[in-house]
Amino acid sequence: MKNIPQAYLLLALLFTFSAAQGGNPDRQGEAGAGQLLINPWARSAGLHSLNTSSVTSIDAIFLNVAGLPRFKGTQIALNHTRYLEGAEMALNALGFAQRVGRGALGISLVSFDIGDLRLTTADTPEGSGATFSPAFFNLSLAYGHLFENRVSVGVAAKFVSESIPNAGASAIALDAGVQYVTGENDNFKFGISLRNVGSKMRFRGEGLGVQNNSTNPTFNYPITFYQRSAEYELPSQLNIGVSYDWLLGRHNRLSLLGTFTSNAFARDQVGAGLEFFVGQFFILRAAYKIEFDPPSEKSQATLDNGLSAGFTFSTAFKKGGNGRLSVDYGYRNTNIFRGIHNLGLRIDF
């Protein structure tokens, strides 16, 4: 029985190397549901989502579900993201995680608010004065299990939905991950996560109907023809991360971390970051991420690159108690608009 966790780790490594060779550069830019790659959680967003090896609790549902059981008790988190400040777009996320024995259950709901758009039709191409708001959201149900010899694994099922008033698309996706912790003080961490692997999406609904006259030469009556929209893939990606912790006295810690990201429908990325823990009350973060194959006249870099930073301030509900209230903030620089701002509130009890 003691060899079971090592077998999980070996299988994960073999899968990682095979998956890393399966990318197809010719398919870059063909995926949809890009909101699945936007991190709604301020703690990991402040590190540019580079903490694949060390992410824990609710943030792990998004980044590496194997980190879900690496906390104690119950956790509730509420986060708000100002996406591309100035573009009037936002994300709202609600998460819940509960430790159960050596495992943990988690659920998260993320909604993308794009704002109100002008309603145009074939008859009113300049707009009729009416507006509509697209509804993008995803719901994740996750479970992670922690083995005694410091290996944890996890899996999450995800429902993805995109819709406008008269058409919509949906899909089911799976995330999976593994984390391994070793060292004299558990200071070396390794993590692998595979995200957004699922069914294709295709828009369906009344909005794809076109009314024309019947082709029957005897009876001339209107008939509605429904067009098939093109299918599109989910933006699957593979993350491989490592981190190392330096203990500075009894309560302080400095962590160096890095992650390589292989995107099935975008250029690969790599980055590194630092996280400084001042006791249990304050955490400071900073990271930098770059893309392979720099942009050219025919292609542009994605927004998810460059500098990020953030912090966490945490306080206990009462002296000597286990409950804690934390405020998280994360910032990511972008080459257009005024960056991405994440603000979160977290309760542990």
**CATH code: domain of residue 309:** 2.40.160.40
Q: CA of 139: how far to CAs of 43, 50, 158, 249, 272, in Å? A: 20, 22, 6, 41, 29
Q: Tell me whether residue 196 is in a domain.
A: yes
Token pair 């828009």 is at which residue? 203
Helix, strand, or coil (residue 166) = coil
Q: How far is CA 177 from the centre of its chain?
A: 13
Q: CA of 245: how far to CAs of 48, 135, 276, 282, 348, in Å? A: 18, 41, 10, 16, 23
pLDDT of the residue at 299: 56
Q: What is the spatial distance between Cα 217 and Cα 110, in angstroms, rounded to a whole number?
A: 52
Q: What is the spatial distance between Cα 290 and Cα 270, in angstroms, rounded to a whole number?
A: 6
Structural domain that includes position 18: 4-120+130-348
Whether this prediction's pTM lies above 0.75 is answered by yes
Q: Tell me whether residue 125 is in a domain.
A: no
In order along its 349 residues, the chain shows pLDDT tens digits of: 444 445 444 444 444 444 444 445 566 778 889 999 999 999 999 999 999 999 999 999 999 999 999 999 999 999 999 999 888 899 999 999 999 999 999 999 999 998 888 888 777 888 878 888 899 999 999 999 999 778 999 999 999 999 988 899 999 999 999 999 998 888 999 999 999 999 999 999 888 887 777 777 776 777 777 788 889 999 999 999 999 999 998 889 999 999 999 988 888 899 999 999 998 899 999 999 998 876 655 556 677 789 999 999 999 987 766 789 999 999 999 888 889 999 999 999 8
Instruction: Give DSSP secondary structure letters for 91-148.
Output: EEEEEEEEEETTEEEEEEEEEEE---EE---SS-TT--S-EE--EEEEEEEEEEEE-T
Q: Tell me whether residue 90 is in a domain.
A: yes
pLDDT of the residue at 298: 53
Count: domains in the chain: 1
Q: Tell me whether residue 136 is in a domain.
A: yes
Query: In sequence order, which residues have a C-beta less than 8 Å from that of residue 162 and are 6 or more positions away?
Result: 32, 33, 134, 135, 136, 168, 169, 170, 201, 203
pLDDT of the residue at 68: 96
Helix count and strand count (H, E) for the chain? 3, 18
The CB density around residue 10, as the number of other CB atoms within 10 Å, is 11
pLDDT of the residue at 24: 52
